[in-house]
Amino acid sequence: MYGNKQHLQKDFFLANSSKARSKAYINLREVTQRFRLSPGEYVIIPSTYEPHQEGEFLLRVFSEKRNTSEEIENRIEADHPEPAPSTVGEESEEDQHFRSLFQQIAGDVSTGSAGRPGSTWGSDMEITASELRNVLNSVVSKHKDLNCEGFSLESCRSMVALMDMDGTGRLNLQEFRHLWNKIKQWQGIFQQYNSDQAGSINSYEMRNAVNDAGFRLNNQLYDIITMRYANEGMNIDFDSFTSCLVRLEAMFRAFQAFDQDGDGTIRLSVLEWLQLTMYA
């Protein structure tokens, strides 16, 4: 029926009718049903009566010949395409405004407002997480469809940790530009699923959005993301969406740095583990 073992989109269920289902879809402690199906490949979908609830289920499959079963979305991997560098001629009006804000804030730093006098504008000029927050919120406030109150300081600290390649705790212009390209990419993905312009996406849309951003996760990880980043209504706003992708990319990048032989396992000391998790 479906052979790529990946998450099934809504279109799949619109185009394929179910071969068998429980006669009673009701909120009972136990619902049982026995089916006889012809040989083939099937997708079995357990479901709780209320959405976003955990539940246990028992599945028995009897067959005359050997059969195999596998959980869909059992791969865990990430793509890290580098955004194409933009030249001055390609900068949009928004890019120019963003760059101007960065120069203004970094320029304030060079005059001594952040306690680092004597700097001059150039590649060594850097901004802190607090200054990054001011720049991002100034730009995000212009996107009314995001319905976003702005980025939290904690989110911006995570962004700095992700892009801070030289370990200064600040972002230089190159690191900042790389981050901005990522945020624009993630903003486009978020807006694709924020079609009603409510300013948030639900947990199902979040699963698809994370996949569009280049991350393939299993069901357990998607459940953890929902618990960590969704509100009580199981919706995720743009700040939480960005924070989730920043954390995912940072942790994948760190794992790959430790996984020298590429076997998918790493060994860390307590110090290495704390350094990795506390700064991510």
What is the pLDDT of the chain when averaged over all its residues? 78
In this prediction, residue 117 carries a pLDDT of 39
pTM metric for this prediction: 0.68
In this prediction, residue 270 carries a pLDDT of 94
Span 246-271, mean pLDDT?
90
Token couple for 14: 């619109």
Span 141-168, mean pLDDT?
82
In this prediction, residue 83 carries a pLDDT of 44
pLDDT, tens only, 59-101: 788 888 887 777 766 678 888 644 444 444 566 776 676 677 6
Span 243-250, mean pLDDT?
91
**Residue 7 confidence class, pLDDT cut points 50, 70, 90:** low
The CATH number assigned to the domain with range 88-279 reads: 1.10.238.10
Span 54-58, mean pLDDT?
75
- Per domain, the residue ranges of the chain are 1-72, 88-279
pLDDT, tens only, 175-194: 888 888 888 899 999 999 98
